Amino acid sequence: MAEPWEDDELEGPVRKFMYVNRRAPYGTIYALESLEVVLIAAAFEQDVTLVFMDDGVYQIKKEQNTEAIGVKNFSPTYRALEGYDVEKLYVEKESLESRGLTTEDLVVPVQIVDKDQLAELMEEQEVILSF
Amino acid sequence: MPMLHTVNKSPFERRTLDTALRHAVKGSAILLIEDGVYAAFDGTVVAEKVKAALADHKIYVLGPDVTARGMTEHHVIDGLEVVDYGGFVDLVTEYDKVQSWL
Amino acid sequence: MKLSVLVNEGPYQHQSADSALMFTKAALEKGHEVMRVFFYHDGVNVGTRLAIPPQDDRNITEQWTALAKEHDLDLVICIAAAQRRGIIDENEAKRQGKDSDNLAPGFRISGLGQLIEAGIQSERMVIFGD
């Protein structure tokens, strides 16, 4: 009889989850609270993809300094995602370029996709969470 | 079966409809709900864009949100299908998954 | 089919809580199973027992309480979002030394894991938000 840790049946289903981030940080709470979902969700070992598009690309902009607005700077947390096995980070090319940004401006390594590639990626998912 | 995209923002308030359409593959469907139903009415500056989208997508609009906002089915662009909440549920189960564009 | 619903906005401020209620009702009427309704962001404010909306308008919280009772629905308020916004049950109030609690009947407070579990186990997840 297999030991519990050898029994694959215990792991449960693995579904493809996508978290779609479209909002800038700080002006609203969506960026912070969606990141909290991703961190908690990591324990469930699902197949996770994070997408940053529209103003969501601003969430991972380098050099955020929030001291003068009196709120917590949570951008360092994106660097911790790798440690949580959340490694599939995608940024939409058009969103980045229209905001005058490049990957050099971002705090984490990401994969750039254009809108059509992103549309296909979205179709591959099983659960899409928007905040 | 591709996905169902819901859009709940007025096209005059936010670019949500544009974003959804840009990321909707051919054969996926759009459902306009809440303030999103304003995109469903003919005679607006976005009507042509919505009509053009019909080439690649079925587009639905939530009837209760239409009548709440003082419009009727007669105002809805030809080719868009009006559904009630039951129809909303049917669409959710008919398509593979739902992406809610907020 | 097994469905789950996520409500991201508070009552009255946005139509989300109403649309979600109408959708959930319609799904139940069609014989579908609604595994869970999860309330996140300002959606946790749907779970307050203390709202006094005008008499001639709907009481959103009570509508959800009634629907939950009729169909044995699992209405879950996210604990992290609830703590931020001051939606608190009796146990949490005692634990945190607060002088009161305000969670409405039919709702329970739990972790974000409940949302992920709903995503894993449901066949469809529909999100209502701003």
Return the CATH number at C49. Answer: 3.40.1260.10
| Number of folded domains that form chain C | 1
Question: How far is Cα C104 from Cα C115, in angstroms, rounded to an integer?
Answer: 20
Structural domains in chain B, CATH included, are 4-101 (3.40.1260.10)
Note whether C8 contacts A131, CB cutoff 8 Å.
Answer: yes
pLDDT per position as a tens digit, B39-67? 999 999 999 999 999 999 999 999 999 99
Q: Which chain C residue's Cα is nearest to A34?
A: C41
Question: How far is Cα A84 from Cα A41, in angstroms, rounded to an integer?
Answer: 9
Give the range of the structural domain holding residue C99, as residue numbers without chain letter.
2-128
Is C19 a known active-site residue?
Answer: no
Structural domains in chain A, CATH included, are 15-130 (3.40.1260.10)
pLDDT band, residue A12 (cuts 50/70/90) = confident
Q: A-side interface with C, Cβ within 8 Å?
A: 12-13, 15, 17, 29-30, 33, 36-37, 40-41, 43-44, 46, 127-131
Lookup: tokens for C45: 């404010």
Question: How far is Cα A25 from Cα A60, in angstroms, rounded to an integer?
Answer: 9
Chain C interface, mutation test: which of B89, B97, B99, most C Cβ atoms within 10 Å? B89
pLDDT band, residue A8 (cuts 50/70/90) = very low
pLDDT per position as a tens digit, C16-46? 999 999 999 999 999 999 999 999 999 999 9
Q: How many CB atoms lie within 10 A of CB B58?
A: 17
Note whether C119 contacts A17, CB cutoff 8 Å.
Answer: yes
